C-alpha cells in the first residue's frame, strides 16, 4: 500500500532521515512529495546550524550503561533517572508519531506526546549548559525574548509537529530545570493548567501565539509564568 501525503508529512516531521524503503520511495514519488521533502531537508540543515551542539559519538552506549544504575561515588541519582527516561523516549518515539492523529486532538494530548518524544532528552542535554543561539532560533519565528529570560535558557531547538513549528527549550530555574515550549501557531483560550504522566503544564496566552511551561507535578513553576507572559513578544514590538 502506497503512503498518502498526510502520512508522509507526519513521518517526515518525526524522522526526516528515515531509511525505511517505503518512506524513501515516497520522497520521490511525485513533485508534491519531492517539494515537501526538499523543504524538510533545508529546515533540517537550518536546525543543525542553529543548535550547534555536537552529539557525543558514544552517547547511546553511555546512556545504556548509565541506565543500569550508578556506580559507587558516581553522579547524582537524578542524572541516571533522566538518562533512563531518554532511553524510554527514544524507544517510544517510533510508535508515538504513527498513532492516529485523532488521539492528539486536544492540546493536553499534543503536549504529552511532544514531551514524551524529546523532553527528557533535552533536560539531560541542557544540564550545565547555557544556550548561545536563543536569538537565532526565535528570529525564525519573528519573536524575541527578554534578556532576563534568555539568560535562563540552557538549550533551545526548533521542533516540527503536525500543528506547526515550535521552539522547545529548557530553562534553569531556582526550582530545577523546566521545559518551555513556545507555540507561535497555536492560541489558547485563557491561561490554564493541564497534567499528564506526573507532569504539569502551565499554558500561557501570548500576543504571538502561546507557550507551555512544563515541570514535574511537585515543581513550583509560578515564577516562570510571570517571566514568560511578559518576555516573549513579536520581533517588531520593540523595533
Mean pLDDT of 111-116: 86
Q: 223: which 3 cell numbers?
A: 515564577
Q: Which of 78-92, 123-137, 201-215 has the lowest mean pLDDT?
A: 78-92
Q: Which of 61-70, 138-147, 178-187 has the lowest mean pLDDT?
A: 61-70
Give SS3 for 73: coil
What local confidence, expressed as pLDDT, does residue 61 receive? 63
- In this predicted structure, the answer to whether residue 101 has a pLDDT above a threshold of 60 is no
For the chain, the structural domain boundaries read 5-51, 59-238
Average pLDDT, the chain: 77
Mean pLDDT of 183-212: 87
Adjacency order of strands within the sheet including 209-216: 153-161, 164-173, 176-183, 209-216, 199-206, 193-196
Tell the burial category of 42 from Cβ atoms under 10 Å away from its Cβ (0-12, 13-18, 19+). Answer: exposed
- In this predicted structure, the answer to whether residue 145 has a pLDDT above a threshold of 50 is yes
- In this predicted structure, the answer to whether residue 232 has a pLDDT above a threshold of 90 is yes
| The model scores a pTM over 0.75 | no
Mean pLDDT of 12-39: 82
> In 3D, which of 224, 118, 217 has the Cα closest to residue 171?
224
Amino acid at each position: 500500500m502506497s503512503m498518502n501525503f498526510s502520512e508522509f508529512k507526519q513521518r517526515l516531521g518525526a524522522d526526516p532521515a528515515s531509511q525505511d524503503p517505503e518512506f524513501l520511495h515516497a520522497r520521490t514519488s511525485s513533485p508534491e512529495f519531492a517539494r515537501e521533502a526538499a523543504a524538510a531537508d533545508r529546515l533540517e540543515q537550518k536546525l543543525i546550524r542553529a543548535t550547534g551542539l555536537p552529539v557525543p559519538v558514544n552517547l547511546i552506549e553511555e546512556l545504556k550503561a548509565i541506565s543500569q544504575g550508578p556506580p559507587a561515588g558516581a553522579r547524582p541519582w537524578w542524572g541516571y533517572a533522566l538518562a533512563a527516561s531518554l532511553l524510554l523516549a527514544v524507544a517510544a518515539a517510533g510508535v508515538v508519531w504513527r498513532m492516529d492523529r485523532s488521539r492528539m486532538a486536544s492540546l493536553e494530548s499534543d503536549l504529552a506526546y511532544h514531551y514524551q518524544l524529546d523532553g527528557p532528552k533535552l533536560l539531560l542535554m541542557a544540564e550545565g549548559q547555557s544556550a548561545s543561539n536563543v536569538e537565532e532560533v526565535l528570529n525564525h519565528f519573528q519573536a524575541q525574548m527578554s534578556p532576563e529570560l534568555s539568560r535562563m535558557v540552557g538549550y533551545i531547538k526548533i521542533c516540527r509537529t503536525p500543528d506547526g513549528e515550535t521552539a522547545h527549550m529548557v530553562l534553569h530555574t531556582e526550582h530545577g530545570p523546566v521545559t518551555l515550549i513556545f507555540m507561535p501557531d497555536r492560541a489558547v483560550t485563557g491561561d490554564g493548567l493541564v497534567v499528564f504522566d506526573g507532569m504539569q503544564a502551565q499554558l500561557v496566552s501570548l500576543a504571538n501565539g502561546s507557550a507551555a511551561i512544563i515541570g514535574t507535578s511537585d515543581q513550583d513553576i509560578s515564577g516562570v509564568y510571570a517571566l514568560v507572559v511578559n518576555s516573549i513578544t513579536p520581533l517588531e514590538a520593540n523595533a
